[in-house]
Amino acid sequence: MVSSKVDINKLRESERKFGKSHHRYSKEEVPKYRFPEKTMDSRTVYQLIHDELNLDGNPDLNLATFVTTWMDPEADKLIIENLHKNFIDHFEYPQVNNIEERIVNILANLFNVPDKSDFIGTSTIGSSEAIMLGLLAHKWNWRQERIRKGLPHDKPNIVFGGDTHVSWDKFARYFDVEPRIIPIAKDRFTIKPEDVLKEVDENTIAVGVVLGTTFTGEFDPVQEINDLLLKLKREKGLDIPIHVDAASAGFITPFFEPGFEWDFRLEQVSSINTSGHKFGLVYPGLGWLIFRHHNLLPEELKFYVNYLGDEMPTYTLNFSEGSSMIIAQYFNIMHLGKEGYRQIVDRMMENASHLAARLQESKEFHVINDAKHIPVVTFRFAKDEDFTLFDLSYRVRERGWIVPAYSLPPHAEEVTIMRVVVRENFTRNLVDIFVDDLLNAKRALKTGSIKTSQRSAREGHPVS
Ligand SMILES: Cc1ncc(COP(=O)(O)O)c(C=O)c1O
């Protein structure tokens, strides 16, 4: 949406300057995999790329993604106006940096930091970077403490469930930490608190808890895990931090269930990530990482950039980064306020409940998660069919809907489900049209030609 606006303006300008394209009747071959030797008219190139991208799915009908596909026109305007600003250039663009700082403050308060003057946070490219950075700090803190006590520090481990996003496995592998993965089961898709307790020991750098799992949208039992870790701290002196992966819930729960304690109100919760580009309602890529206390981010992990004579600390994996999405996040927060976010979240939750109810009423599907905490609905066939959910996923694509089917992670891999993320622009009207299309597609599979295919969640695109 954004880029086409920019391109159209540039196109018009170029048309005024150079007149019509000479390439309309061109027979020249356009190289795809090698650097072209010659220049090509910008309008021709625009058209070539534009036409090819028409083959992409329609983002508004993409029920697979958690990521925002629509923003206010005023947000689009700000995004375009700031596309050319590199966020890391704090000296040149001090205001963008100020805006980032304001958002970190806003989120730290939204997540109920105990001390309003003692927290630290940063923007990231997404939740994956935020998770890596959060866990890296915990690894560092664990090691420093072990060194201080003269204890071995060569075997760090991290405890999380099989229901976590792949970024948790990535962290363990990239940063050389033993992953202790608590299995889910074929009738339970989140972790049990007592299983956490079995896995933790003096080498545990952190426990991971997911609020809004990628697979079913459910919550790990954060309060119970916190209570057990608190007990462990009091009885055995083992102080193990919790990192909450609130990639999805971070911008939902504070508005939908403000009384639900999941954040820094829980004593062991030390860091939280959330995705600005999911229910923060900003386009990709933007994530946030907030630490409960300033000193949880070790000094050695901060790098300093020069800013108006001052040294500004940064904590990111990437150096250069766009400014637009940070500004867009600020726009949403200012424009919507808590009232606006609450209204949008309520509408999404209502539409998700409506979707779940219609699927259940059809008796064709069994609903696994009816959007209890976040607007995600997961379901499977009510009874065995001669075709699979993968077939249904392909079939319903004929109407433009992109809806993923996938098998669950190890220990529940025989369970195949479908997932719909109900975003702001998936209105009640569209929900009804979608359910009708889904039921029609299922009927057609029963009577028409059947093509069976298998795809696992870890293999392809569906689970993002
Ligand atoms: C629970 C969870 N954590 C982390 C991520 C990764 O987030 P991002 O795509 O913002 O890097 C996702 C993505 O869907 C997710 O669902």
Contact 137, 298 (CB under 8 A): yes
Percentage with pLDDT > 70 across the chain: 91
358 with 323, same domain: the answer is: no
Three-class SS of residue 396? helix
257 with 128, same domain: the answer is: yes
Q: Say how many Å lie between the CA of residue 245 and the centre of ligand 1.
A: 8
The beta-carbon contacts of 12-15 under 8 Å, at least 24 apart in sequence, are 14/42, 14/43, 15/43
337 part of a folded domain: no
Percentage with pLDDT > 90 across the chain: 83
d(CA 203, CA 206): 9
d(CA 423, CA 68): 8
At 306 the pLDDT is 74
Confidence of residue 7 (pLDDT cuts 50, 70, 90): low
Confidence of residue 4 (pLDDT cuts 50, 70, 90): very low
CA angle 82, 76, 108 (to 5 degrees): 75
d(CA 100, CA 106): 10
> To the nearest whole number, what is the mean pLDDT of the chain?
91
Number of folded domains that form the chain: 3
Confidence of residue 273 (pLDDT cuts 50, 70, 90): very high
402 part of a folded domain: yes
152 Rama sector, left if φ>0, alpha if ψ -120 to 50, beta otherwise: beta
pLDDT digits (tens, 9 = 90+) for 241-252: 999 999 999 999
Query: Among the residues of 20-176, which ranges form H helices?
Result: 42-53, 73-81, 94-110, 127-148, 166-174
CA-212 nearest atom, ligand 1: 1
Confidence of residue 184 (pLDDT cuts 50, 70, 90): very high
At 459 the pLDDT is 39
134 with 35, same domain: the answer is: no
Q: Say how many Å lie between the CA of residue 175 and the centre of ligand 1.
A: 18
342 part of a folded domain: no
Contact 70, 1 (CB under 8 A): yes
At 153 the pLDDT is 97
281 part of a folded domain: yes
143-168 mean pLDDT: 97
Confidence of residue 31 (pLDDT cuts 50, 70, 90): confident
Q: Say how many Å lie between the CA of residue 464 and the centre of ligand 1.
A: 7
460 part of a folded domain: no
174-198 mean pLDDT: 96
pLDDT digits (tens, 9 = 90+) for 334-343: 999 999 999 9
108-129 mean pLDDT: 97
Confidence of residue 32 (pLDDT cuts 50, 70, 90): confident
Q: Say how many Å lie between the CA of residue 287 and the centre of ligand 1.
A: 9
94 with 217, same domain: the answer is: yes
The pLDDT of residue 261 is above 90:
yes
At 456 the pLDDT is 42
At 308 the pLDDT is 63
CA-278 nearest atom, ligand 1: 10
Distance, C-alpha 411 to centroid of its chain: 24
**Residues near ligand 1 (Cβ within 6 A):** 66, 126-128, 165, 167, 210, 212-214, 245, 247-248, 275, 287, 464
Q: Say how many Å lie between the CA of residue 247 and the centre of ligand 1.
A: 5
E strands, 318-438, in order: 365-370, 376-381, 405-407, 416-421
91-102 mean pLDDT: 94
Confidence of residue 461 (pLDDT cuts 50, 70, 90): very low
Confidence of residue 329 (pLDDT cuts 50, 70, 90): very high
Residue 428 sits in which domain range? 347-447
299-311 mean pLDDT: 80
Higher pLDDT, 274 or 16: 274
Higher pLDDT, 279 or 447: 279
Which helix or strand (DSSP H or E) is residue 244 part of? strand 242-245
d(CA 360, CA 371): 13
Q: Say how many Å lie between the CA of residue 11 and the centre of ligand 1.
A: 36
pLDDT digits (tens, 9 = 90+) for 54-71: 999 999 999 999 999 999
pLDDT digits (tens, 9 = 90+) for 397-454: 999 999 999 999 999 999 999 999 999 999 999 999 999 999 999 999 999 754 444 4
The pLDDT of residue 363 is above 50:
yes
88-95 mean pLDDT: 90
The residue among 330, 360, 385 that closes a domain is 330
The residue among 56, 72, 94 that closes a domain is 56
Residue type, 120: I
At 223 the pLDDT is 98
Mutate to test the pocket of ligand 1, among 189, 190, 214 (most ligand atoms within 8 A of CB): 214
28 with 87, same domain: the answer is: no
The pLDDT of residue 21 is above 70:
no
Which helix or strand (DSSP H or E) is residue 332 part of? helix 324-361
At 460 the pLDDT is 39
Q: For 96-116, give the DSSP string.
A: HHHHHHHHHHHHHHHTT-SST
356 part of a folded domain: yes
Distance, C-alpha 162 to centroid of its chain: 17
Confidence of residue 102 (pLDDT cuts 50, 70, 90): very high
101 with 151, same domain: the answer is: yes
87 with 34, same domain: the answer is: no
130 with 190, same domain: the answer is: yes
Three-class SS of residue 291? strand
Q: Any idea what the CATH number is for the domain that residue 438 is in?
A: 3.90.1150.160
User: Structure pTM?
Assistant: 0.91
Q: Say how many Å lie between the CA of residue 374 and the centre of ligand 1.
A: 14
Mutate to test the pocket of ligand 1, among 164, 167, 282, 378 (most ligand atoms within 8 A of CB): 167
d(CA 443, CA 284): 36
The pLDDT of residue 112 is above 60:
yes
At 457 the pLDDT is 43
Three-class SS of residue 320? coil
Among residues 94, 89, 75, the alpha carbon closest in space to that of 321 is found at: 89
Residues 6+ apart with CB under 8 A from 2: 76, 79, 80, 283
CA-130 nearest atom, ligand 1: 11
270 with 362, same domain: the answer is: no
d(CA 228, CA 194): 8
23 with 124, same domain: the answer is: no
48 with 87, same domain: the answer is: no
Query: What radius of gyration do the chain's Cα atoms show?
Result: 24
Mutate to test the pocket of ligand 1, among 163, 275, 286, 458 (most ligand atoms within 8 A of CB): 275
Q: For 348-378, give the DSSP string.
A: HHHHHHHHHHHHHHTSSEEEEEE-SSSSEEE
231 with 289, same domain: the answer is: yes
Q: What would the two tokens of residue 293 be?
A: 């206390």
Q: Any idea what the CATH number is for the domain that residue 119 is in?
A: 3.40.640.10
205 part of a folded domain: yes
The pLDDT of residue 136 is above 80:
yes
74 part of a folded domain: no
